[in-house]
Structure 1
Amino acid sequence: MALERNLRISVLCYKYYISCENILIFKVYGCLFNMNRGKPHNFDVIADSWPDFRVIICKQKAQRSLDREGDFNIYNIYSKDKESLKKMLSVPSVINWNTFTLLAGVDINHLDAVKELCIFHNVRGETEGIVYLLLLEDASHLKDPECIAECNIVPLTADHAELVNSNWKYGRNAMSYNSVKNYITNFPSWCVLDKSGKPVSWILMYQHGAMGLLYTVPEHRRKGYAKLLISIMAKHLLEQGYPVYCFVDEGNEASYRLFTSMGFRHKPDYHTVWFQINEKL
């Protein structure tokens, strides 16, 4: 029944996805896309009503698990309006207001509803980050992989997890290492190898389907590796039927320019917020 329900929700999410009715649907759709293909996950999927849902939440089944997702108690959220989100989060079984929770992907226009609930429950809430959701709208700007013929481009392996984790801004600990290893083992990834066979640039995909962890070691920058890897990953995801999108921090102008130069766009009136409830112990 759970799989059948997730498939039905996924179909409706896909309709929003292809019509671009609401760009926020991509994160939830990405979660469901992977879940329905048997990819490892730690999510329960909750919709406020059916079939005319206004809120969908992909929440963690288990907290304090051995990866960053479970450790962070991350909720992936899609909401059509502020009042529906507030009503959904007010249901006792949906969220525990006494523990650390990271609401990932709250529409900034709906954030007041979350803040009002924090005041009602007398808990601390703060914005961890505001980001753009960039969607690939014009694939003609992607680079031809043959343009840098001398590059040795291969998928990452689990042996590379420590290297990736040590250079991830949200990494450098055991929990994040487990997440990186999970991404590499179960989802698409690509890297450029140097002559010694060591990755010098790489890109991965999160379990919610967004491209991320893009990084090039400093001494190998300005060689076009990032654009090449984005192009290869984007084309691969398009062939597999994934939505092709990423998140870029509001103040990260370099990454914003990089992705927009390659055909990625965002809605000017839309920002998504990572909002933290309670302090992380």
Structure 2
Amino acid sequence: MDGLADPLVRIPVQKWSEIQDQFLQDWPRSIAGYYALKIQREWLQRGLKHDFHVYCPYGDIRNGMVAIQSKGPVRELIIQCPSDDTTNIEEALRDTKLIDWSKSYTIPAPPIHITRAINAVLKDINMVIRRPGTPHYMFLLTKDTPIFEDIRLPKDVTIELLTEEHIDIVDSTWVNKHKGSDWFFQLLVKAQYGFGLFQDRQLACFVFINEVGFLTHLFTLEKFRKKGYADLLLKYVCNKQIKDNKDVYCFVMEGNDSAINLYYKLGFKKYHCVLWGFIAPESSKL
């Protein structure tokens, strides 16, 4: 490699479809990579600006993808590879100057082979695991699934897009709430990726599709529980995604039996395990 060239080569939007084709060969393990590119392209076409940049090790799309994005105060690395051989990704992470390894990063939804690759380079880039990732399992409802025909809303219930007035309650109920996390929900609301079920005009239940295309933060407020509202809202959102020719997927924490049972009930199938990555410089206080 040229000593002046960075091993992570930026890939223009016009070539993202070629990376997606590679991810389709590793389906559904590389689903997060595929839909990250699909969603971000759609946002660009709609004029929605988001700090999201795509790189491939040595410019070869067969080597996988390292996407760098900022979500308010949170820095993320979306690392996906359609092959079990992650040698080139590991080398690129060791040698790149594009990533500031003096900062902390979240690595969302990395399949097990990516987790191994990250662990292999931690010492070389002077990073450590900030906290162990809890196992999450990917659940998938494919886009060729028949739509749900049994959505019958009670007379006083409606399903609508969320607006900025709902962000405070959404953010306050998020298990991953942190300083600046309301920025994330503002982004998704602006993109019209937040859905709420309302009873008598009061927000009762909500769910989002995030910037990587998977369902997140499904939550029913306590006084509205045991009414089947999460079931109704999920069916509505699944229908919307299927009509838009999109698969519906999510990651459910191991042991979250109520969510797991709900997804099984709706016909989702369970696939691979991921361990969310949280890495920080060795010198940082853990």
TM-score, normalisation: structure 1: 0.84
- Answer yes or no: is 1:31 the counterpart of 2:40: no
Q: How does 1:254-269 map to 2 (within 5 A)?
A: 254-267=258-271
- Cα offset, 1:52, TM superposition: 4.6
> 1:208-247, CA deviations, whole angstroms, 9 ceiling, x for partnerless residues?
1111111001121121111111111111122223331111
Show the counterpart of 1:180. 185
AA at the equivalent of 2:274: T
Which runs of no fewer than 5 residues in structure 2 stay unpaired? 1-8
Counterpart among 45, 49, 52 of residue 40 in structure 1: 49
SS at match of 2:73: helix
Counterpart among 120, 123, 132 of residue 119 in structure 1: 123
- Cα offset, 1:206, TM superposition: 0.6
Show the counterpart of 2:195. 190
Tell me if the contact between 1:74 and 1:103 (Cα under 8 Å) persists in the aligned partners: yes
Structure 1's 172 and 151: CA in aligned 2 closer, same or farther, altered over 3 A? Answer: farther
Show the counterpart of 1:55. 64
Show the counterpart of 1:86. 90
C-alpha separation in 2, matches of 1:144 and 1:171: 34
Identity among equivalent positions (%) equals: 20
- Answer yes or no: is 1:272 the counterpart of 2:274: yes
Once structures 1 and 2 are overlaid, which stretch shifts more, 30-39 or 229-238?
Answer: 30-39
C-alpha separation in 2, matches of 1:240 and 1:140: 13
C-alpha separation in 1, matches of 2:149 and 2:221: 21
SS at match of 2:78: strand
Once structures 1 and 2 are overlaid, which stretch shifts more, 220-229 or 4-13?
Answer: 4-13
Structure 1's 151 and 233: CA in aligned 2 closer, same or farther, altered over 3 A? Answer: same
- Answer yes or no: is 1:166 the counterpart of 2:172: yes
SS at match of 2:134: strand
Once structures 1 and 2 are overlaid, which stretch shifts more, 216-225 or 109-118?
Answer: 109-118
Show the counterpart of 2:255. 251
TM-score, normalisation: structure 2: 0.83
Structure 1's 170 and 151: CA in aligned 2 closer, same or farther, altered over 3 A? Answer: same
C-alpha separation in 2, matches of 1:150 and 1:280: 51
Structure 1's 51 and 95: CA in aligned 2 closer, same or farther, altered over 3 A? Answer: closer
Higher helix share goes to which structure? 1
Q: Count the aligned residue pairs.
A: 267
> 1:47-106, CA deviations, whole angstroms, 9 ceiling, x for partnerless residues?
22566522112112x5xxxxxx24221111211233233123223234322221112222
Which runs of no fewer than 5 residues in structure 1 stay unpaired? 63-68
Counterpart among 200, 206, 212 of residue 204 in structure 2: 200
Once structures 1 and 2 are overlaid, which stretch shifts more, 226-235 or 164-173?
Answer: 164-173
- Answer yes or no: is 1:210 the counterpart of 2:235: no
C-alpha separation in 1, matches of 2:35 and 2:188: 14
